[in-house]
Structure 1
Amino acid sequence: MNKPIVAIVGRPNVGKSTLFNALAGQMISIVKDTPGVTRDRIYADIDWLNHQFTLIDTGGIEPDSSDIILSQMREQAQIAIDTADVIIFMTDVKQGLIDADAKVADMLRRSRKPVILVVNKVDNYNKMMADVFEFYNLGIGEPIAISAAQRSGLGDMLDKVTEHFASLKLEAEDDDRPRIAIVGKPNVGKSSIINKLTGESRVIVSNIAGTTRDAIDTDVKWNGREYVFIDTAGLRRKSKVKEEIEKYSIIRTVTAVERADVVVIVIDAIEGVTEQDAKIAGIAHENGKGVIIAVNKWDAIEKNDKTVYEYSNKVRQILSFMPYAEIMFISALTGQRLYKLFDMIDFVIENHSMRVETGILNEIMAEAVAMQQPPSDKGKRLKLFYITQVAVKPPTFVIFVNDKELMHFSYTRYIENKIREAFGFKGTPLRFIIRERKEK
């Protein structure tokens, strides 16, 4: 089951980011060693009354002049229409209804996507209701009055948003074909890889950064097995500003990664790993997906017998938060090692959904504890009672201990390494949940 994606669209200064932060609040996981991902905070995973969804703030890009505002809003609305399941269209009661709102409302209405009209900054419900009703004129349904800053009205809004989830056909449940997202910066050769694998030019490729038109799912058959490749689109329109291209490609990446089992991160061999690559890798890591790092354009690199080893080390250094990722060196141009990708995908999928018996896990843990004593604090020593695997995709383990505070990150990582030594789990992150249990 994929999480629905909800996007916030609206003019500058109507309070999109305030709403985003109010909803995401403390739920944004700042992963200490994942670079760049959460600092941009374009997306967050939200839980609301048993509903989970991914919230996207399209407003990371704020133009200065008014004539750009409409084109920007349209751009943001287009992104939301392309990627979101439900759209929150945000207006501001204090600025009232303006022309740009009406134009964007038309776009949203034509998209046939569910749109929730939200009127922000309603600090005094009774006094301002007449002004709120004015927004009925947009013709996209009943306006919901909120104040993001005071956090009022958010419950009603979320109820409206989640009402639409039931009718979403979120990927046929019985479709068990592996989904592979091909992600990476513009121009690293994502589309070329898919074209080569499918043997046809389905995806328009040209050499201008950010020209692939739209996210395309391509069905590929290899050795009798079917795969679905998700190509993360570039932009519909070429944007002049590098930050914009990056922001948009991050949003597209988030939506593709959400839907995938395995994420192939394509890196340009000539350029090497960049900060943007690290951000994209961070999204896959945070989402607990299987990961393959494909270094493309390998044919263009001068090599000696140490090149692969040195290059791998460099990649591992920069992407140090995902030591489990598998690295491959390929060339979409010459087809070098391209078809080995399928073997690697199968291998990672297997690890991503591997289950380990509880008995064996507890043996490994007992041995690990015997070899390296758990930490203690003020005379109290950490005790590990029991470990069991509770989920796959990614493999998730619960460890019962006497005191959660004593279970340092580093000791959890030590246990993880012992489990990996025994079972490999290559290409997949592992999750650990630490629970307290009173001693008998």
Structure 2
Amino acid sequence: MSVSVAIVGRPNVGKSTLFNRLVGKKLALVDDSPGVTRDRREGTGRIGDLTFNLIDTAGYEDADDGSLEARMRQQTEEAIRVADVILFMIDARAGVTPMDEHFGRLLRKADKKVTLVANKYEGQLADEGLYEAFKLGFGEPIALSAEHGMGLADLYNIVATTIEEAEENLKEGEAEFEAAVANLDESMMPEINVDLEEDGKGVEDGKGTYDPNRFLNVAIVGRPNAGKSTLINKMVGAERVLTGPEAGITRDAIMVPWEWQGRTINLVDTAGIRKKSKVQQKLEKLSVADALRSIQYAEIVVLMLDATIPFEKQDLQLADLVEREGRAIVIALNKWDLVKDKQGQLKDMKEACERLLPQLKGVPLVTLSGLRGKNIDRLMEAVLKVEKTWNSRISTARLNRWLTGMTESHPPPAVSGRRIKLRYMTQAKTRPPSFIIFCSRPDALPKSYERYLVKGLRETFGLEGVPIRLWIRGGQNPYHEKGKFKPS
């Protein structure tokens, strides 16, 4: 049985370093400056044979309500509320500070199982801080070095004991439930007759086969203050990530699992991405790199634009990056409730999108208000539709009939008096749809003719809004002699 372990403490004591070590990946941003982490981040922690849910939190600060620090504190308090065991981390080299004492008093009121962890226990300088930690009243502290992996055996014992207690409580609860069911009068029970469909089989949508029950990774990217975090909170129906009027609140890329119409959607909130020339500080560079990495691991990318100032140069560069990474994309025009001439503005934006992003012709354009929660269903319908298109597979026979028609209506140009022959075509892979054409002189085929073919593929097979890869190769039809392909 999995339990939840939250790492809490004041800023800059090494919480994210321990989080990264236990999950085995550098998921959380780590820097020497305090206050790097702002949102709570969850991951699967592992110590030996134990697996558990691990929560990294922002450094706890005593701040007034309404400020950014106060909203960060609320995220930490929520992590404490849902955790089964709390690792209260202090800096052994700095000793116990007044903020540690204040935080300790709050944890005692939470009525949770708390384990004191003295981090940065490297060398003799940390001994005094370790002994001083006893006065916090949480028993003997665990001497730990998250950076070097010291003290993990003691953490193993703490988590193992918590898992054993949780399993015992579960067994007791199951026994009570079975006893209660045994005493029920069956005549009072309602009749249930539900036909369950088998899942995991995938469905045939006419274009290709894909699994509509598989989880879907959706990254939400855009410029700072476009409303990405606000939208995610409205989707999940909770203040899961920090929001506010300040630009650049989000630093880490935070994954938030969400269920929509019975399907798990892994929403990834990312830091706002400014122009490269404006990104000077090391911490912002780390945040931007984390956001760009999220695009690589996503399947669908929602590019969030501010409808009051859409299609700035940075927006177009982000869209181009998504296309080059081969990810499906949906453009979300946020803050639509602030637009006055909605019909005229939408018409202008569609024209601008077709003109400025020809490589993504037909990309879905959805207007919404993240703050008010309007059109979230329309956004998700567009996401699932473009996912189907991104997974499209077209039969070789259909592709070669199409290729014959395209070359007959507009033959390839003659180069040096010799006509280029397009002999055979097949789809190499999906995600995104990628095709190979074998021709007589691949190096001589003009790029303009390749664009003509890509445009035809998009229009004929309904591949709007997704990247298309087209590779031109030399040689004959590789299946001609084997008899695997016979043109109709």
TM-score bracket for this pair, using the shorter chain length = 0.5 to 0.7
- Could you tell me how far apart the structure 1 residues matched to 2:290 and 2:252 are? 9
The 5-angstrom pairing of residues 140-159 of structure 1 reads: none
1:380: which partner in 2?
Answer: 418
2:306 corresponds in structure 1 to 268
Cα contact 2:219–2:295 (8 A) shared by 1: yes
Q: Distance in 1 between matches of 2:399 and 2:218?
A: 30
2:279 maps to a residue whose letter is E
Match of 2:318 among 280, 290, 293: 280
Correspondence for 1:313 among 351, 355, 377: 351
Output aligned runs, 1:12-161, within 5 Å.
74=32, 110=146
- Whether 1:209 and 2:247 are equivalent positions in the alignment is yes
After superposition, residues 339-358 of structure 1 pair within 5 angstroms as 339-358=377-396
Q: Give the SS at the match of 1:321.
A: helix
Query: Distance in 2 between the 1:318 and 1:255 partners?
Result: 24
Q: Which runs of 5+ in 1 are unaligned?
A: 1-57, 59-70, 83-102, 104-108, 114-174, 236-240
The answer to whether the 8 Å contact 1:253/1:280 transfers is no
Aligned-partner Cα distance in 2 for 1:205–1:378: 62
Deviation at 1:234, TM superposition (A): 5.1
Q: Is the 8 A contact 2:427 2:435 kept in 1?
A: yes
Per the TM alignment, residue 392 of structure 1 is displaced from its structure 2 partner at its CA by 0.6
In the superposition, relative to structure 1, how do residues 215 and 402 fare at CA in structure 2: closer, same or farther (>3 Å)?
Answer: same
The one-letter code sitting in structure 1 at the alignment partner of 2:400 is N
The corresponding residue for 2:372 is: 334
Q: Is the 8 A contact 2:426 2:437 kept in 1?
A: yes
**Identity score, percent:** 31
Shift of 1:176: 3.7
1:212 deviates by: 1.4
Is the 1:185–1:249 Cα contact (8 Å) retained in structure 2? Answer: no
2:280 to 244, 252, 255: 244
Q: Which residue of 2 aligns with 1:395?
A: 433
- Give the partner amino acid of 1:244: Q
* Cα distance between partner residues in 1 of 2:363 and 2:413: 29
Deviation at 1:213, TM superposition (A): 3.9
1:381–1:406 Cα contact (<8 Å) kept = no
SS of 1:425's partner is coil
Supply the AA of the counterpart residue of 1:374: P
CA distance 1:414–1:234, shift in 2 (3 Å): closer
- In the other structure, the counterpart of 1:88 is none
Q: Which residue in 2 is equivalent to 1:158?
A: none
Tell me the amino acid that sits aligned with residue 186 of structure 1: P
How many residue pairs are counted as aligned between the two chains? 276
TM-aligned CA deviation for residue 403 of structure 1: 0.6
- TM superposition shift of 1:276: 1.5
CA RMSD, aligned part only? 2.9
Deviation at 1:220, TM superposition (A): 1.0
SS for the counterpart of 1:340 is: helix
Q: Secondary structure at the match of 1:276?
A: helix
Kept in 2: contact 1:204–1:213 (CA 8 A): no
Q: Distance in 1 between matches of 2:280 and 2:244?
A: 19
Going from structure 1 to structure 2, the CA distance change for 1:304 and 1:229 (only over 3 Å counts) comes to: closer
Distance 1:312 1:234, change over 3 A: closer
Output the CA distance in 2 between the equivalents of 1:426 and 1:265. Answer: 16
CA displacement 1:209-257 (0-9 Å, x = unmatched): 111142111111111111111111359xxxxx94337755542232111
Other structure's SS at 1:186 match: coil
Q: Which residue of 2 aligns with 1:193?
A: 231
In the TM superposition, residue 318 of structure 1 has moved relative to its aligned partner by 2.9
Could you tell me how far 1:302 is from its partner in structure 2?
Answer: 1.1
Which residue, 410, 418, 429 being the options, matches 2:456? 418
Residue in 2 that maps onto 1:253: 291
Write the distance in 1 (CA, Å) between the matches of 2:359 and 2:286. 24
> Contact 1:179 / 1:229 at 8 angstroms: preserved in 2?
yes
Please tell me whether residue 229 in structure 1 is matched to residue 267 in structure 2: yes
**1:72-92 CA deviation, whole Å, 9 max, x = no partner?**
x857xx89xx9xxxxxxxxxx
Confirm or deny that 1:430 pairs with 2:471.
Answer: no
Letter in 2 for 1:274: E
2-structure distance, mates of 1:247, 1:379: 53
How far does residue 382 in structure 1 lie from its aligned partner after superposition?
1.2
**Which whole-Å CA distance do the structure 1 matches of 2:392 and 2:279 have between them?**
39
Give, as a single letter, the amino acid of the residue that structure 2 aligns with 1:243.
V
- Contact 2:329-2:363 at 8 Å conserved across structures: yes
Answer 1 or 2: higher relative contact order, Cα 8 Å, separation at least 6: 1
Residue 322 of structure 1 corresponds to 360
Measured against aligned partners, the alpha-carbon deviations of 1:335-384 in whole angstroms (never above 9, x if no partner) come to 22122111111101111011000000001110000000102211121110
Opposite residue 421 of structure 2, the aligned amino acid is K
Are residues 1:219 and 2:257 paired? yes
Change (3 A) 1:438 1:304: closer
Can you give the 5+ residue segments of structure 2 that lack an aligned partner in the other structure? 1-28, 42-119, 121-144, 150-212, 481-488
Aligned pair in 2 of structure 1 residues 112, 321: CA closer, same or farther (>3 Å)?
A: farther
CA distance in 2 between counterparts of 1:210 and 1:372 reads 51
Taking the aligned partners of 1:111 and 1:391, their CA distance within structure 2 comes to 42
TM-score, normalising length: structure 1: 0.58
Distance in 2 (CA, whole Å) between partners of 1:324 and 1:335 is 25
- Matched letter for residue 449 of structure 2: Y
